[in-house]
Amino acid sequence: MKQHIATCLMFAMLLALAACGGGGSGGQGGPSGLTQAPYNMVITSPPATGVQVNRPFSVVVNFLDPNSGQPMNVSSIEAVTASIVSGPGTLFGTSTLPGNGTDTLAFNNLVLSAQGSYVLKFSGFRANQPAVTTSFDVGAARSLRFASVPGDAIHDRVFEIIVETYDPTSGTAAAPSAPCDITLALASGGGNFNGTLTKTLSSGSTLSFNNLTYDQVGPIAVKASSFGFLDAVTPNFIIDSVVMSFDPPPVNVPVNGTFALGVSLTGQYSGQPIEPTPGITATIGAISGGGTLTGTTTAGNEGSRISFAGLHYSQPGSAVFEVTSNDAQTVFSPAVDFGLALRAVPGGKTVVGAGAAFDAIEFRLVDGNEQPWAVSANVLNWTITDATGAQVNSGQASISSGVATVTPIPMSVTGAYTLTGTVTTPNAAATRVPLGVTNASLLSSPGPFVALRSVRVNDSYSDSVDYAALNSSISFGLLAGAMPPGLQLNGSTGEITGVPTQAGSYEFTLYADQGGAYEPIRCALAVFRADESEIVPGQDFKSAGQFTAVGPVTETFSFNSSFDSVDYAVTGTLDCRLQFYYPNFGSAPATVPVFIQHRGRGFNMIDYDNMGAHLASHGILFVTVEDYQSFFDGGGSGQGPNTTYDGNAEQGMESASAFQEAVLEWLVQVNSQPGHTLYGHVDLNNVFMGGHSRGGGATQASHVRSQPYVKGGTERVPVGIRGVVYLMAFDLRSFNTTIAGNSTVYPVPSDQSRLPSLLIAAENDRDLFYPICDQFIERATGPATFATVYGGCHNYMTDASNPEPDYSSQGIAAPYITRSQQHERVFNLVVAFIRRWANLDLSLDGLLYNNELAGSDEVGVTAWRNMAERVVVDDHQGGNKLLNSLGGTNSLSNGSWSTSSGVYPTWGSFASLNVRHNIITLSGGSDHTYASAIPAANQDVSSARRLIFRLGQIDQGNIKGYDWVTVRVRLTDTQSDAATVTLFDRKNQYAQYLPDYAGSGSNVFDRFIEANVPLDSFTGVNQNLSLNQLQKVELIFETAQGASRQVYLDDIRFE
């Protein structure tokens, strides 16, 4: 209305001026010169498409002399008005303008109120005739925004910006009504911005400008503009240059083994970690040391790092490496030490009576492939010390082809002793063997194995072996070996406390006194350096090892079952068979660790030959048992199962566990049987058990029995195994009978035993479908690694069985990887697990427990490392979502959340476990901050090195992965200093902490993965952040536009 009044007043003023001018000379102006000469108008019509409803657009009017046709100035006394000739809507905005004294007049604020076709006309008081536009269309309103802006672009290097059109009402991406040209220009920044800066969006809603460059270092902002659109401007982003720096290398990398080195990328301008977009490549090479570097020597960045995995180096000693790149200055590594390992392999008894003889112990100087190092001859120096550290004997043994043998002399004084072997050339290496002399009888041999909590040197320590001792124990003592310096054993309680002062991998044997008889308790305790430089990244066991696999060899045996007391004979209807693969002992160690495998239902022992041959090639004896009694074997034996056990799966799996134990007893027998293939070759101190499907349930039963357990109302002596491997395992807690136990089965506790375990699931398992295999990790108390093989299935664990049909009835997709791919990914972890615990090889903790495979598109890994420094902020089991496990408050800025139940669906969840997760619902197009406060008593986490939690997302149909959300973690101290690390950036995906993985099929729930973030990533962002005064942990979720989605998390902890 105001605009209409102003137009009328302007016309009235012009009429008054004309009247005052009098008769005059044809419009040449009166005495005051205020009249406007006649003129013609020519207009630049709007484009046929591109004008948007309720959005300003522009039309330019050009004035011409009617006589000459030349441009003509029009003064401010003349007004030009736009109006609609045809069209469905109303014209508003600025539709009348005075002349500006030039020959053009721009209408920049014309607005039409409805979609449709229009013709406009422009009229002036002294114009000879109106000017009329051509017909043009008015389409739906659209806005511009940036779908992708470089996280870190490099000067004078191509980068990409993606512009997106969207519906301003709904906020969702939407194509414009017609093709449009979009132009980029600098909004801020003083350098030269080059590339193809104008492009046409002809279809869809996104337009990529992918050849942009900028020639300076510093912050810039970019503007996007297009006819009919409001301009959009990016936030400032940095154009930087890359500075590479080597990550701290591990100590004593194995010669000829597989390892990885990496460089971190920082911005020269920002001084912060930089994630070049697009990525850069670099090449690594050796420049000193005399050895040969092979493997993947060229790699691209993932986020702010470049990792060179799959490397091998051939020479002991120090080497220096260089990394070169076209996009950064060459950088040189610190000296990296390469060495050989010294393995001690006892050939028999290491705990004997007073004056009795020990069996020989083989020392092997080996490279990263466990091959004896025969390049340079040397001697082994050995000493025997007592529990006080006093030396009681010493000597030397010659090394031949990398092998030396020591037989300790008999000792008459009872007590715990340690045999230490050392070599100095070609590098220093040492290992210890626990020895014991006792006149007490031993209840079992070698006794239960305890993986005590790991710890970093000079940190406070507390753990106990009480749980591994029989209830009748009256005291504890040291039977063999020595505990780490600085730690003490409480003989009354079995508690180990103190502050370890010397890093190392320690093995010793305690005893629990039963009143004259000793129960041996084998202990392993890892004391890491403060920087954990023992860990060697990049190790890989997918390929066959260096030893020749021999097998399969089939034999029959007999035993009395510890489950049902049935005598299973060598022949007849209850006959027993087994099959084994072994490494050729001509080059393999004299004694080797053992993996006892139990088949799944419907499979036979011969279905696992690939696994047997692979493990044997890595120096591991593989034995698989037929056991057609416990459940159906697919007809391979020609015999039918015990129908009770086959029909009542819990009984069948506990029966199968007794078959695993029987194989162990058979190994004890043949190991001392002259003439047998395995005579003297079985390392009974390193026996592992595993199983597939129901065989995995048998393994769970053996896991239960790896510490004292109750059967039939009587406490039983545990089975002496060192670790267990679950392969797509049937969980015994599926059955109510196994919760408390009864006369038929013994109970399966909610919490797993402290024995080390490796748990493997297949993403597309349509037999033991999600989440049957997944809830083991929820109950881990000892070192546990849970890995999901992406795209794998149940039957691919065998050598030839076809993929299983969808027994789940949940619409789970068929496998999308090959059988050989599944095998190599599973076997890699199995070999790593056995080597870690058989050799107590701390270098493998990165692969198994520190999520070295974060971001992998092959396996998703989450773990429970069991560190003494662990501080659990929240395990979400408390039942009150507003309080964490420490008593601090939890909050969510917006959205909804619950910790009252687990994420597992009803068809596979075991209610008796009472598993709970934090399930958070996040709305689209917003930021959500989940905060967990740390009480004052728990704010010192300076002894920890990592922030860890399990994280999962709940799929919606075919929308999977984390591409819909950016995930960040922020730590804040009591002084309000804060640091934020990005785990996953949906706009700049690089899979450093979380996988950029979309999954496959229609399995509704994906498995957990793990966020495992070094705390120095936070202090690198803000050096003022105080790790001894941390006040809160925040998880920040920035979601894309669209429907609400869910994530779930668990076990937030520092470790």
Is residue 1002 over pLDDT 60?
no
Q: Cα separation of 1022 and 176, whole Å? A: 44
- Cα–Cα nearest to 431, from 846, 838, 865: 838
Domain final residue, candidates 102, 137, 172: 137
The token pair at 1027 is 């790790």
**Which two tokens mark 327?**
């996009």
Residue 957: what pLDDT?
A: 59
- Residue-wise pLDDT for 777-803, tens only, equals 999 999 999 999 989 999 999 999 999
The Cα 205–Cα 641 span in angstroms is: 62
**pLDDT at position 251:** 84
What pLDDT is attached to residue 252? Answer: 86
Contact call for residues 864 and 556 (beta carbons, < 8 A): no
Q: How confident is the model at residue 25, as a pLDDT?
A: 30
Residue 537 domain-assigned? Answer: no
Contact yes or no for 892/1036 (Cβ under 8 A): no
pLDDT over threshold 80, residue 27:
no
Q: What domain count does the chain have?
A: 6
Predicted local distance difference test score (pLDDT) of residue 16: 38
Domain match, 456 and 559 both: no
**Both 1003 and 918 in a single domain?**
yes
Q: What is the DSSP string of 81-117?
A: EEEEEE-SS-EEES-EEE--SBSEEEEEEEEESS-EE
Answer for the pair 703, 694: CB distance below 8 angstroms, yes or no: no
Least reliable range by pLDDT among 533-537, 692-696, 969-973: 533-537
pLDDT in tens, 382-414: 999 999 999 999 999 999 989 999 999 999 999
In a domain, 544, yes or no: no
Q: List the CATH number of the domain containing 1007.
A: 2.60.120.260
Residue 33 banded pLDDT, cuts 50, 70, 90:
low
- Which H/E stretch holds residue 610? helix 609-617
Q: How confident is the model at residue 990 (pLDDT cuts 50, 70, 90)?
A: low
Confidence at 955, pLDDT banded by 50, 70, 90 = low
CA distances from 368 to 291, 334, 547 (A): 15, 21, 13
Separation CA 306–CA 773 (nearest Å): 34
Report pLDDT digits (tens) over 806-826: 988 878 889 999 999 999 999
What end-to-end distance do the CA atoms of the chain give, in Å?
Answer: 70
CA dihedral 839, 844, 849, 852 (to 10 degrees): -170
Residues paired with 119 in a beta bridge: 86
> How far is residue 804's CA from residue 765's CA, in Å, rounded to a whole number?
8
Mean per-residue pLDDT of the chain = 91
Q: Tell me: the pLDDT tens digits for 654-706?
A: 999 999 999 999 999 999 999 999 999 999 999 999 999 999 999 999 999 99
The answer to whether the peptide bond before residue 276 is cis (omega within 30 degrees of 0) is no
> Does residue 743 have a pLDDT over 80?
yes
- Does residue 534 lie within any of the structural domains? no
Rounded average pLDDT over 709-725: 91
539 domain-assigned: no
DSSP letters spanning 357-372: PPPPEEEEEE-TTS-B
Let me know whether 761 and 888 are in one domain.
no
Residue 14 has pLDDT above 50, yes or no: no
pLDDT at 962: 73
Q: pTM of the predicted model, to two decimals?
A: 0.84
Same domain, residue pair 334 and 220:
no
CATH number at residue 837: 3.40.50.1820
- 407 C-beta neighbours (distance < 10 Å), count: 12
Q: Give the contacts of 787 (CB within 8 A, at least 6 positions apart).
A: 758, 759, 760, 761, 829, 853, 859, 860, 861
pLDDT at residue 886, as a whole number: 97
Mean pLDDT of 594-602: 97
Model confidence at 12, pLDDT cuts 50, 70, 90, reads very low
The answer to whether residues 298 and 290 touch, using CB atoms and an 8 Å cutoff, is no
Q: pLDDT (tens digit, 9 = 90+) per residue, 252-288?
A: 899 999 999 999 999 999 888 888 877 899 999 999 9
Local structure of 49: helix, strand or coil: coil
- Tabulate helix, strand, coil % of the chain (nearest 5): 10, 40, 45
Indicate if 27 and 166 belong to the same structural domain: no
How does residue 995 score in pLDDT terms, banded at 50, 70 and 90?
Answer: low
Shared-domain flag, residues 198 and 266: no
Q: Which pLDDT score is estimated for 23? A: 31
Mean per-residue pLDDT, 639-657: 95
pLDDT at 992: 65
**pLDDT tens-digit profile of 458-474?**
999 999 999 999 888 89
Residue 1036: inside a domain: yes
Look up tokens 């004309």; give the residue: 18
Residue 533 lies in a domain: no
**Do 1004 and 967 reside in the same domain of the chain?**
yes
pLDDT value for 892: 96
Q: How far apart are CA 922 and CA 931, in angstroms?
A: 15
Tens digits of residue pLDDT in 67-126: 999 999 999 999 999 999 999 999 999 999 999 999 999 999 999 999 999 999 999 999
pLDDT of residue 19: 34
Section 498-503 average pLDDT: 97
* Averaged pLDDT for residues 881-885: 96
Percentage above 90 pLDDT, the chain: 76
Task: Indicate whether 235 and 120 sit together in one domain.
Answer: no
Q: Is residue 543 part of a domain?
A: no
Residue 739: count of CB within 10 angstroms of its CB: 16
Task: Using CA atoms of 340, 390, 458, 1055 in order, give the dihedral in degrees to the nearest 10.
Answer: 60
Residues 173 and 28 occupy one common structural domain: no
- The partner residues of 554 in beta bridges, in order of sequence, read 579
Q: Considering 219, 240, 261, which residue would you say is the last residue of a domain?
A: 240
- Tokens representing 602? 């419907």
- Do the Cβ atoms of 629 and 642 come closer than 8 Å? yes
Q: How far is CA 204 from the centre of its chain?
A: 34
User: Which tokens in the block code for residue 512?
Assistant: 């629990």
Do 290 and 249 lie in a common domain?
yes
Residues 181 and 280 grouped into a single domain: no
For residues 603 and 689, membership in a common domain is answered with yes
In the chain, the percentage of residues whose pLDDT exceeds 70 is 94
Residue 275 contacts residue 301 (beta carbons within 8 Å) = yes
Q: Which residues partner with 248 through β-bridges?
A: none
Determine the distance from the C-alpha atom of residue 136 to the mean position of all C-alpha atoms in its chain, rounded to a whole number. 55
C-beta separation of 159 from 242 below 8 A: no
Tell me the sheet residues that pair with 145: 164
* 3-state DSSP of 180-207: EEEEEEEEECCCCEECCCEEEECCCCEE
| pLDDT score of 374 more than 90 | no
C-beta contacts of 553-557 below 8 A and 24+ residues apart:
553/579, 553/580, 553/581, 553/582, 553/677, 554/578, 554/579, 555/579, 555/580, 557/662, 557/663, 557/666
Which of these three, 110, 137, 164, is where a domain ends?
137
Residue 34, pLDDT above cutoff 70: yes
Q: Is the pLDDT of residue 862 over 80?
A: yes
> And the tokens for 389?
């550290």
Q: What is the CATH number of the domain that holds 60?
A: 2.60.40.10
**Which of 481, 345, 336, 338 is closest to 402 using CA atoms?**
345
Write down the H helix ranges in 438-569.
none
Q: Is residue 147 part of a domain?
A: yes
Question: Residue 325 is part of which domain span?
Answer: 242-339
What's the average model confidence in pLDDT over 900-919? 89
Q: What is the mean pLDDT of residues 610-620?
A: 98
